[in-house]
């Protein structure tokens, strides 16, 4: 007997990145620029708070929406840092990573057959999430000549005005693109005009170099139609603690909580204690990590230019997105540089339309390894010129 799988699960192909990890695991000299997680450890104060909470036996479930003090701290942080005003009682839900929050949103708002427009290239989880929820994906292609910002022309070209929902991720994984207020205004206008719900994944908001992050939810008429996602994985280097949150109108957050309370009960309690401390006392740790990412970003961008690979000026997250040299597909380049030089990078195609011909390079890796990896990429390019 075999267990019959659901059509929704069968409709989603396995992750395109996995094959590269398998090759990388065969050898022990590989430098990985492939992973999307900080190389820093969680700031000590947050770790200590987690340890103390365990010592004090704080290992029960919390409120479904998360500990009240944590929701209050998130509300204060979002208001101070990004001008986002949300009521901790009704407009915030704490989840097991931003991933859970994004999944809840799809499940809470998508009806069978609804169309969800996704600005791509983008993080790989949105598309499967939409399919698991029974929706249809509409890929909206962003372009390098627009520095991978979403434009109204791109939305119109894809026919996104007929969609029910729009997913945005800025600062962007995988391109490192950011969108400033003047770039978000026309998108907000389009969303209002076509009555789109906007899911805005802002998990890299703190990792904005040159200027400050603007949330689309702060623009006129957007708060009531937007869900903002954020979390502790990136800025606070807490990936394994699994803690994120969503901000949105009370009815929408209550609907997400309806699923969360049955599927999850509550986000990990130990992680909630760590997160509370992270917001309370780890601002300087975040600044220091962001400074280091910025230094690495500048180094990596300048090295790609020296090597002669075109790369646009990524200003956010911890990725850059160079073009592969002529004569290669992204996949061929990624496979070649891994086999011949032992550097793991991710071909842009896995991030959806617009990613072809590009590589995602993560600089969440120490400068020493980055230096060596770039030297190996340079050698690979020279060998195949």
Binding site for ligand PMP (CB under 6 A): 36, 97-99, 123, 169, 173, 201, 203, 231, 233, 239, 244
Nearer to ligand PMP, 34 or 97 (CB): 97
Nearer to ligand PMP, 203 or 217 (CB): 203
Omega of the bond leading into 88 within 30 degrees of 0 (cis)? no
DSSP state of 151: -
Structure tokens at 27: 């050898």
Residue 200's SS3 state is strand
Please state, in angstroms and rounded to a whole number, the distance separating the CA atoms of residues 177 and 171: 6
Report, in Å, the least distance between residue 201 CB and ligand PMP. 5
Nearer to ligand PMP, 140 or 307 (CB): 140
Report, in Å, the least distance between residue 233 CB and ligand PMP. 3
Report, in Å, the least distance between residue 342 CB and ligand PMP. 23
Residue 64 has φ and ψ, to the nearest 5°, of -55, -45
Nearer to ligand PMP, 82 or 123 (CB): 123
Q: Under a CB-based contact definition with an 8 Å cutoff, are residues 325 and 332 in contact?
A: no
Residues 6+ apart with CB under 8 A from 279: 70, 73, 74, 76, 77
Nearer to ligand PMP, 128 or 231 (CB): 231
Report, in Å, the least distance between residue 349 CB and ligand PMP. 17
Residues 6+ apart with CB under 8 A from 277: 45, 46, 48, 49, 50
Nearer to ligand PMP, 178 or 203 (CB): 203
DSSP state of 17: T
Q: Find the residue with minimal CB distance to ligand PMP.
A: 97
Please state, in angstroms and rounded to a whole number, the distance separating the CA atoms of residues 3 and 222: 44
């Amino acid at each position: 007997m075999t267990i019959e799988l659901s059509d929704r699960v069968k409709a989603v192909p396995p992750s395109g990145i996995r094959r590269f990890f398998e090759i990388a695991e065969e050898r022990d000299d590989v430098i990985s620029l492939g992973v999307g997680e900080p190389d820093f450890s969680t700031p000590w104060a947050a770790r200590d708070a987690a340890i103390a909470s365990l010592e004090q036996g704080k290992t029960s479930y919390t409120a479904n929406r998360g500990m009240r003090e944590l929701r209050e701290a998130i509300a204060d942080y979002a208001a101070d840092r990004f001008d986002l005003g949300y009521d901790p009682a009704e407009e915030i839900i704490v989840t097991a990573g931003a991933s859970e929050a994004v999944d809840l949103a799809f499940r809470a708002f998508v009806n069978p057959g609804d169309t969800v427009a996704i600005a791509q290239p983008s993080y790989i989880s949105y598309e499967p999430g939409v399919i698991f929820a029974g929706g249809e994906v509409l890929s909206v292609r962003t372009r390098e000549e627009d520095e991978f910002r979403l434009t109204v022309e791109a939305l119109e070209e894809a026919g996104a005005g007929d969609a029910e929902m729009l997913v945005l991720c800025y600062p962007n994984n995988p391109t490192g693109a950011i969108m400033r207020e003047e770039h978000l205004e026309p998108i907000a206008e389009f969303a209002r005009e076509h009555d789109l719900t906007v899911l805005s994944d802002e998990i890299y908001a703190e990792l904005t170099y040159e200027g400050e992050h603007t949330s689309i939810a702060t623009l006129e008429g957007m708060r009531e139609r937007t869900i903002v996602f954020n979390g502790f994985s990136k800025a606070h280097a807490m990936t394994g603690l699994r803690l994120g949150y969503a901000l949105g109108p009370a009815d929408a957050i209550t609907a997400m909580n309806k699923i969360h309370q049955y599927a999850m009960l509550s986000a990990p309690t130990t992680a909630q204690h760590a997160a509370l401390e992270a917001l309370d006392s780890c601002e300087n740790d975040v600044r220091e990590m962001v400074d280091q990412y910025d230094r690495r970003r500048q180094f990596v961008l300048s090295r790609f230019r020296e090597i002669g690979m075109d790369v646009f000026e990524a200003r956010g997250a911890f990725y850059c997105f160079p073009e592969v040299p002529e004569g290669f597909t992204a996949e061929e380049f990624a496979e070649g540089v891994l086999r011949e030089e032992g550097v793991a990078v991710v071909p842009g195609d896995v991030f959806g339309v617009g990613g072809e011909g590009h590589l995602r390079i993560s600089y969440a890796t120490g400068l020493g390894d980055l230096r060596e990896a770039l030297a190996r990429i340079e050698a690979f390019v020279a060998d195949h010129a």
